[in-house]
């Protein structure tokens, strides 16, 4: 694994005057093989799936299964869920040599996360968020290591602005804003709220929510003035989205096969990613057949027989 030398920072990427394109933390999905794939198709920064910091610190098994990386897996942000500042800082110190920053999950709306004291309930605890940022800042021995937060918004946006300004005063590097409240799921994104937050702080702000095509990157920038956009479902459906493809190209599908085989991706994960990638380009009868496949070899045979190989693209 490549060790961070402390001389470079993700923050330098924000100086280039471009809108950064970022792969969201996705439980079960934003793992090493998928990060390798989206990096090949113009993704600037990748996040790990959310990792529960207390489990990570208590179990070697959790550390080995939850955090895998390699030399080319950079820039990399490790996202932690935590309700305790010292546990978070301990976890950050473990991953710091192999990553470029940590992110505090303050946006997960799932009931189990909020009942455990982390996720979206943290947007109502600005002093704890400040404490977490300060602990990581003080204990990771690398001044270029970033500490960011990913939040949802309040119905009363003044509370969100207050949270963001307090986090900024504690030294947070940047803020990702999912433009929905913790109660909202598929409602329209509140772009005006993201713009208000962007205008209220002097640190970079990333917009998250409904980024499905490359054109959404530009439209979101025009609406909000943000420094970057983060995609989740859009990248699952089309990992080549940030290069401008409307649907997953065949080359990308075979790249996924290669990365998965190379890194030993479990079949269920390997198959689920392909189900997402093929959803927009296959008929319902085709999906029924593909979804019922139960081995890697059966999937590869199906892809070769139905779509051909990358070598066939030139014929």
Residues 65 and 107 in one domain: yes
In a domain, 4, yes or no: no
Residues 233 and 272 in one domain: no
**The pLDDT of residue 7:** 57
Residues 31 and 163 in one domain: yes
Residue 156 has pLDDT above 70, yes or no: yes
Residues 154 and 135 in one domain: yes
In a domain, 5, yes or no: no
Average pLDDT on 37-63 reads 95
Give the model's confidence band at 255: pLDDT under 50 very low, under 70 low, under 90 confident, else very high. very high
Distance CA 145, CA 133 (A): 12
Distance CA 118, CA 109 (A): 9
* Helical spans, DSSP H, in 171-213: 191-200
Q: Tell the residue number behind the tokens 């969100």, with chain if given.
A: 160
**The pLDDT of residue 17:** 67
Residues 125 and 258 in one domain: no
Give the model's confidence band at 312: pLDDT under 50 very low, under 70 low, under 90 confident, else very high. low
Cβ density class 169-183: b for 16+ within 10 Å, e for less: ebebbbbbbbbbbbe
In a domain, 100, yes or no: yes
**The pLDDT of residue 111:** 87
Q: What is the mean pLDDT of the chain?
A: 94
The catalytic residue positions are: 108
**Tens digits of per-residue pLDDT, 207-218?**
999 999 999 999
**The pLDDT of residue 65:** 87
Residue 2 has pLDDT above 60, yes or no: no
Residue 89 has pLDDT above 50, yes or no: yes
Cβ–Cβ under 8 Å, residues 38 and 242: yes
In a domain, 83, yes or no: yes
In a domain, 264, yes or no: yes
Q: Give the count of alpha carbons within 13 A of 22, CB side only.
A: 29
In a domain, 263, yes or no: yes
Residue 8 has pLDDT above 80, yes or no: no
**Tens digits of per-residue pLDDT, 168-178?**
999 999 999 99
Distance CA 192, CA 175 (A): 16
Residue 5 has pLDDT above 70, yes or no: no
Average pLDDT on 47-61 reads 95
Q: Tell the residue number behind the tokens 């404490």, with chain if given.
A: 131
Average pLDDT on 110-137 reads 95
Average pLDDT on 80-100 reads 98
Which residues contribute to the annotated binding site for FMN? 25-27, 79, 178, 232-233
- The total number of structural domains in the chain stands at 2
Cβ–Cβ under 8 Å, residues 240 and 203: no
CATH number at 74 reads: 3.20.20.70
Structure tokens that stand for 92 in this block: 């950050």
**The pLDDT of residue 3:** 37
Give the model's confidence band at 1: pLDDT under 50 very low, under 70 low, under 90 confident, else very high. very low
**The pLDDT of residue 315:** 42
pTM: 0.95
**The pLDDT of residue 176:** 98
Tell me how far the alpha carbon of residue 173 is from its chain's centroid.
Answer: 16
Cβ–Cβ under 8 Å, residues 242 and 270: no
Residue 80 has pLDDT above 80, yes or no: yes
Q: Which domain holds residue 53?
A: 10-241
Is residue 10 helix, strand or coil?
helix
Tell me how far the alpha carbon of residue 305 is from its chain's centroid.
Answer: 33
Residues 115 and 38 in one domain: yes
Residues 165 and 270 in one domain: no
5-14, 168-177, 180-189: least confident range? 5-14
Which one of 189, 216, 241 terminates a domain?
A: 241
Q: Is 185 left (phi over 0), alpha (psi -120 to 50) or beta?
A: alpha
């Amino acid at each position: 694994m490549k060790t961070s030398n402390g001389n470079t920072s993700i923050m330098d990427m924000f100086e280039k005057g471009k809108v950064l394109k970022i792969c969201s933390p996705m439980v079960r999905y934003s793992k090493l093989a998928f990060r390798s794939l989206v990096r090949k198709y113009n993704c600037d920064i990748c996040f790990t799936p959310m990792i529960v910091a207390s489990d990570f610190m208590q179990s070697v098994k959790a550390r080995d299964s939850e955090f895998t990386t390699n030399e080319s897996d950079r820039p990399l942000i490790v996202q932690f869920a935590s309700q305790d500042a010292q546990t978070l800082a301990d976890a950050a110190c473990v991953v710091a040599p192999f990553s470029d920053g940590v992110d505090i999950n303050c946006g997960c709306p799932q009931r189990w996360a909020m009942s455990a004291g982390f996720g979206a309930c943290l947007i109502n605890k600005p002093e704890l968020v400040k404490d977490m940022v300060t602990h990581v800042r003080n204990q990771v021995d690398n001044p270029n290591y970033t500490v960011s937060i990913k939040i949802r918004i309040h119905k009363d946006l003044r509370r969100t602005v207050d949270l963001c300004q307090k986090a900024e005063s504690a030294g947070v590097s940047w803020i990702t804003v999912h433009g929905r409240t913790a109660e909202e799921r598929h409602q329209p994104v509140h772009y005006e709220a993201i713009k208000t937050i962007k205008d209220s702080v002097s640190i970079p702000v990333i917009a998250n929510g409904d980024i499905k095509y490359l054109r959404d990157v530009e439209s979101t920038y025009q609406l909000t003035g943000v420094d970057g956009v983060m995609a989740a479902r859009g990248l699952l459906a089309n990992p080549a989205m940030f290069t401008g493809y409307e649907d997953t190209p065949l080359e990308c599908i075979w790249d996924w096969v290669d990365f998965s085989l190379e890194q030993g991706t479990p079949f269920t994960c390997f198959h689920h990613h392909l189900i997402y990638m093929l959803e927009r380009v296959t008929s319902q009868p085709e999906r029924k057949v593909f979804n019922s496949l139960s081995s890697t070899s059966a999937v590869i045979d199906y892809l070769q027989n139905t779509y051909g190989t990358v070598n066939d693209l030139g014929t």
